[in-house]
């Protein structure tokens, strides 16, 4: 709008179209791949459960460890039919949420100057405190909308290369799963490559398992630290507890979108605490220091009965 002299409607539509290809298209691809795999499992549950029973029996024979009991397997089989309706409901709810977000985004971009002026006018804070909110929003947005997806994409590509080298079937699918699993705080992509490494050792592919451990520990895990260091100037320095708590709260109350909204809400709460400390704590600790009274050895109502000597003693 400022550089190209575009109309607000054209600029808003460009942002919406770009966000669709950059954000929604990968997410849609992920859910499509995952949905196709789940449909196969739901269509042939007996085959999947037979494989699970065989794996459980083999582990029990070799190591005398029972991972899944017959009761647990039967419980899983009885609950399989409930999964598909839940997935469909979540999919419909996700599409509805995205449609509403785009609807609001268009009008927010259309009226952005008036909206910003209204926010500044109605917020009960001074201008410097509002700037704190704005700076945190910019840092959190860059971290959640650019930094985290970039790290996830690079980790997914590296995982795809490793899966291709060791001959994992459908390496592209597992690369996408690894990329999205890296969004999970603390655990990250390890939730995929650790079970895969254990399975490789179990089926006797030892060199593949060793290669997977080395590649994951050296390459995949190091990417997170390297990219975060490169983006440190632009990304928000968020404590892991804030991220984990934000993700838990966000997923519970906002669904998948809360994965990005949750940390922002927790960070804003901490900013409110900082503002409260700056604005009110300093006034609370200020006290009016009164001159200390001379300590009396005897109560004042006893002094008339003690005469002048007591007055000299009490006034020393």
Q: Which two tokens stand for residue 247?
A: 């993700």
Radius of gyration (C-alpha) of the chain in whole angstroms: 31
| pLDDT-derived band at 81, boundaries 50, 70, 90 | low
Q: Does residue 115 carry a pLDDT above 60?
A: yes
Rounded distance between C-alpha atoms, residue 45 and residue 160, angstroms: 28
Half-sphere exposure of 159 (CA within 13 A, CB side): 32
For the segment 106-111, the average pLDDT, to the nearest whole number, is 88
Domain ranges of the chain: 1-122
User: Which residues have CB under 8 Å from 171's CB, separation 6+?
Assistant: 160, 163, 164
Q: What is the pLDDT of residue 281?
A: 67
Q: Is residue 110 predicted with pLDDT exceeding 80?
A: yes
Cβ–Cβ under 8 Å, residues 132 and 120: no
Longest dimension (CA), the chain: 107
Q: If you average pLDDT over residues 201-219, what whole number do you get?
A: 86
Is residue 242 pLDDT above 50, yes or no?
yes
Q: What is the pLDDT of residues 263-292, one digit of tens each?
A: 788 888 888 887 787 777 666 655 444 445
Q: Give percent of the chain above pLDDT 90.
A: 3
* Token representation of residue 62: 């070799």
Highest mean pLDDT among 52-56, 123-127, 277-281: 123-127
Q: Which residue has the higher pLDDT, 30 or 189?
A: 189
Q: Tell me the pLDDT of the chain averaged across its residues.
A: 76
| Residue 99, CA distances (Å) to 94, 104, 107 in order | 9, 9, 13
From 263, 60, 280, select the one nearest 145 (Cα to Cα): 263
User: Which segment of 114-123, 156-165, 248-257 scores lowest on mean pLDDT?
Assistant: 248-257
Cβ count within 10 A of residue 141:
14
The pLDDT assigned to 289 comes to 45
Torsion, Cα of 163, 168, 172, 173 (10° steps): -120
User: What's the confidence (pLDDT) of residue 14?
Assistant: 92
pLDDT at 179: 86
């Amino acid at each position: 709008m400022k550089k190209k002299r575009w109309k607000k409607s054209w600029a808003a539509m460009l942002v919406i179209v770009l966000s669709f290809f950059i954000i929604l298209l990968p997410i849609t691809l992920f859910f499509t791949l995952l949905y196709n795999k789940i449909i196969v499992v739901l269509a042939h549950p007996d085959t999947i459960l037979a494989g699970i029973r065989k794996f459980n029996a083999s582990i029990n024979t070799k190591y005398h460890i029972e991972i899944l009991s017959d009761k647990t397997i039967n419980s899983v089989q009885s609950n399989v039919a409930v999964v598909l309706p839940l997935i469909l409901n979540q999919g419909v709810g996700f599409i509805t949420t995205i449609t509403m977000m785009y609807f609001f985004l268009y009008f927010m971009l259309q009226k952005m100057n008036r909206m910003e002026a209204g926010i500044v006018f109605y917020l009960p804070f001074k201008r410097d405190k509002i700037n704190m909110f704005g700076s945190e929003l910019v840092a959190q947005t860059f971290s959640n909308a650019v930094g985290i997806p970039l790290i996830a994409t690079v980790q997914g590509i590296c995982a795809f290369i490793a899966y291709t080298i060791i001959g994992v079937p459908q390496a592209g699918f597992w690369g996408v799963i690894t990329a999205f699993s890296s969004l999970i705080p603390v655990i990250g992509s390890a939730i995929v490559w650790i079970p895969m490494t254990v399975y490789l050792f179990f089926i006797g592919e030892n060199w593949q398992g060793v290669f997977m451990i080395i590649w994951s520990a050296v390459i995949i895990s190091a990417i997170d630290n390297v990219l975060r260091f490169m983006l440190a100037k632009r990304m928000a320095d968020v404590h892991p507890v804030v991220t984990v708590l934000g993700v838990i709260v966000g997923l519970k109350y906002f669904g998948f979108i809360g994965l990005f909204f949750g940390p922002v809400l927790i960070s804003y709460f901490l900013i409110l605490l900082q503002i409260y400390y700056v604005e009110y704590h300093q006034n609370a600790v200020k006290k009016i220091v009164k001159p200390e009274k001379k300590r009396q050895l005897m109560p004042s109502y006893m002094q008339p009965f003690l005469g002048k000597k007591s007055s000299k003693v009490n006034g020393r």
